[in-house]
Chain A
Amino acid sequence: MVSVKEIPGAAGLSGDKLLDIYYKMLLARTVGQRERMLNRMGRGPFAVTGEGHEATQVGTAFALRPGHDWVVPYYRDIAVALTVGQSPRDLLLAHLSRADDISSGGRNMPSHFSDPHLRIVSGSAPVGTHLPHAAGIALASKLRGLDEVTVVYTGDGGTSTGDCHEAMNFAGVHKLAVIFVIENNQYAISVPTRKQFAVEDVSIRAHGYGFPGVTVDGNDVLAVYDASKEAVERARRGEGATLIEAKTYRLVPHTSDDDDRRYRSREEVEQWTAKDPLIRYRGWLKVHDVADERKLDELQERAAREVDDATEEAEKAPTPAPESALRYVFVEE
């Protein structure tokens, strides 16, 4: 079934890799849904998930070398974390604030991903604050002569912050190996992009910083991967930064505390549901004979099982001991 020959439009990826991408997307979707469900059941404090963004997140993260390249995600990047190597168990331990949560030992907000070995860097909740961190990491790699690439993610709302501008300008001046990924889902919580910036494609701002900017269909995982691969290669060759704007849509409310019916019409959400990146990619895999219905269903069931097991395990895991509250604030001898 899985062909070794080049598949047209597959960005040079083998069948195994193409299915791996699909699996990561499924896993992310399932984890997102599970977290929202657990929150509604009163078991998790808060859920901020990325249903609809899976193609953008997996497509970009799949171009990286996990544990070598640096990943500076924002709160919607469940699929980025999973693609780089976090497990559903890691994410659910954080969601349920468990002692063994790798991101923060049960202390941070859910979806504030962090993993020292995978080089996923913990971010702060205020939008855009992690962009200067990413530029700083990329400067460190450059000064040390290392071939590491840094990828930093933010939403369309992130582009209006001063931090975004300062990070991009600095990256341009120093020709840093950093990729800025804008997950443009057209809403900064409730603020539509027409109130956010007076341009059609925010990627044109890259010219003002002296590096290339591209806009891609963020619901087309292979198009996103292709653009990301090129940006990663550029960065690794020492040719500097790239801005990738991936246009997509968040199919769910901003968080478990948001009611998106107050600012988005149901018709609009339905239109974008029809463009769901999972449905689209599944269709592509079938048309190109990468897998049949049965195989694809099997992957979906496997993802569901993995998330079920992770949920069960995380629910049984202990919360942090009260006497550990002061740990992880300062370096411990």
Chain B
Amino acid sequence: MTAIREAINTHGLTEKQLSQILEKMLLARALSVRQRMLQRMGKGPMTFSGEGHEAAQVGSAFTLRPGVDWVFPYYRDVAVAVTVGMTPVDILRGFFARRDDISGGGRNMPSHFSHRGLRIVSGSAPIATQLPHAVGAALAAKLRKLDEIVVAYSGDGSTSTGDWHESMNFAGVHRLPIVFVCEHNNYAISVPWRKQAAIENVSIRAQGYGFPGVTVDGNDVLAVYGAMAEAVKRAGAGEGPTLIEAKTYRLVPHSSDDDDRRYRTREEVEAWSAKDPFVAFPRQLKELGVLDDSAEKEINDRVNREVDTATDQVEREPQPEAPTAVLHVFVEEQRS
């Protein structure tokens, strides 16, 4: 309740925007559930989904200017992609490896989001390799004196990589307009955080790079939005990077190839299910009068319809034609 008031008063979010945030979260959830279902039906090769991360992802991405700011997502960021503007059709084409997939022409793994128009930059599968790319994009924006900021996403496991460190350090030295968002879900696949780092909050590392780091409740979409809005403002004002650690939980296995019962107790998963970002947020909106039951149902119906329609459409679409296999590897010359 107070969080919502603060969001409206401090950050100038309108009631319409609050509904949009909820709708993006619901859309991401529906897409994730759908992809996992289709994979189990044998219709898609593999799925990574982000159930549980929606508040962290939508709360952060909602602060960006789509098509202006640069987004370097990682594979769990379905909700980032849809918040910035990718459609369920875009996402499902990537999942089904269809010819018209905007991310990779049906060539890349699912959830390796890419969209030129929206400035979502394609990443590689190895963890954290996108972070130096993001820093390079931020350096380019700075050198060209452009009013662009860069957001780079990764999980808690990525913080142990050399790439993570080199990116943070370089961003600090050059005061780059970049926000690093760490979606801390306490597991790098099966490795728990206590085996990943000997500290409670990884955000404290930011002080070692000369910029601020904050830890927020990653299941509270408005807390994430608030921290991110501040970081984006800092970056835009030329004051340099911020590290945001959003503590959250992945409610599903790491991917369709993972059995999380081998490393997480069901009690733990249940405890976090009670903190599902969809529990508190709609209730808060209703308490404030931004949302009522019929409006909520309307949003839910719209989202489900959109995902159903996209699934039907994309399932019927063609795969890439075999002779195109070697396209999109090298720059192709324009022949007149």
Contact = CB atoms under 8 A, between A and B. Distances in A.
Q: Is chain B found bound to chain A in the same assembly?
A: yes
Interface of A: 159-166, 169-170, 172-173, 175, 195-199, 202, 204-205, 207-211
B84 to A, nearest CB: 29
Given A197-B209, A208-B208, A162 B196 contact: no
Interface SS of chain A: helix
Contact of B198 (A164, A202, A204, A210): A210
14 contacts: A160-B170, A161-B166, A165-B161, A165-B166, A166-B161, A166-B165, A169-B198, A172-B198, A172-B199, A173-B197, A197-B169, A199-B172, A199-B210, A207-B199
Given A160-B169, A197-B172, A198-B173, A208 B199 contact: yes
A166 to B, nearest CB: 5
B209 A199 contact: yes
Contacts of A196: 173
A142 B196 CA distance: 18
A208 B204 contact: yes
A161 B204 CA distance: 19
Contacts of A170: 160
B167 to A, nearest CB: 9
A195 B163 CA distance: 18
B159 to A, nearest CB: 8
Contact of A210 (B164, B173, B197, B208): B197
Contacts of A208: 199, 202, 204-205, 207-208
B175 interface: yes
Closest A-B pairs by Cβ, 9 of them: A162-B162, A198-B210, A210-B198, A165-B165, A208-B205, A205-B208, A198-B172, A172-B198, A210-B199
A185 to B, nearest CB: 18
A173 B166 contact: no
Nearest to B168: A165
Nearest to B201: A208
Given A197-B209, A198-B209, A172 B175 contact: no
B173 A166 contact: no
Contacts, number: 78
Interface in B184-199: 195-199
Given A173-B198, A204-B208, A208-B204, A197 B173 contact: yes
A143 to B, nearest CB: 15
B198 A198 contact: no
A266 B165 CA distance: 34
Given A169-B197, A197-B173, A160 B166 contact: yes
Given A159-B169, A208-B199, A208-B205, 12 more contacts: A160-B170, A161-B162, A161-B166, A165-B165, A166-B162, A169-B160, A169-B198, A197-B172, A198-B173, A198-B209, A209-B198, A210-B198
A207 to B, nearest CB: 6
B199 A163 contact: no
B225 interface: no
A159 B164 CA distance: 13
B211 interface: yes
Contacts of B172: 197-199
B166 A162 contact: yes
Contacts of B207: 199, 204, 207-208
A196 B165 CA distance: 13
A169 B159 CA distance: 9
B161 A162 contact: yes
A210 B200 CA distance: 9
Given A169-B160, A173-B195, A197 B210 contact: yes
A80 B183 CA distance: 43
Contacts of B196: 173
Contacts of B198: 169, 172-173, 175, 209-211
A196 B197 CA distance: 24
B204 to A, nearest CB: 6
Nearest to B169: A160
Contact of A207 (B162, B175, B208, B210): B208
Question: Which residue of B159, B160, B162, B198 has the most chain A CB atoms within 10 A of its CB atom?
Answer: B198
A195 B173 contact: yes
A88 B207 CA distance: 43
Contacts of B159: 169
Contacts of A202: 208
A89 B163 CA distance: 41
A271 B161 CA distance: 39
Contacts of A198: 169, 172-173, 175, 209-211
B198 to A, nearest CB: 3
A162 B173 contact: no
Contact of B204 (A159, A164, A166, A207): A207
A204 B205 CA distance: 9
A205 B205 contact: yes
A150 B317 CA distance: 60
Contacts of A209: 197-199
Nearest to A168: B165
Contacts of A210: 197-199
B160 A166 contact: yes
Contacts of A197: 169, 172-173, 209-210
A253 B334 CA distance: 52
Contacts of A166: 160-162, 165
A204 B204 CA distance: 10
A170 B211 CA distance: 23
Which of A164, A170, A173, A175 has the most chain B CB within a 10 Å cutoff?
A173
A163 B173 contact: no
Contact of A162 (B165, B195, B202, B205): B165
Interface in B151-181: 159-166, 169-170, 172-173, 175
A161 B209 CA distance: 13
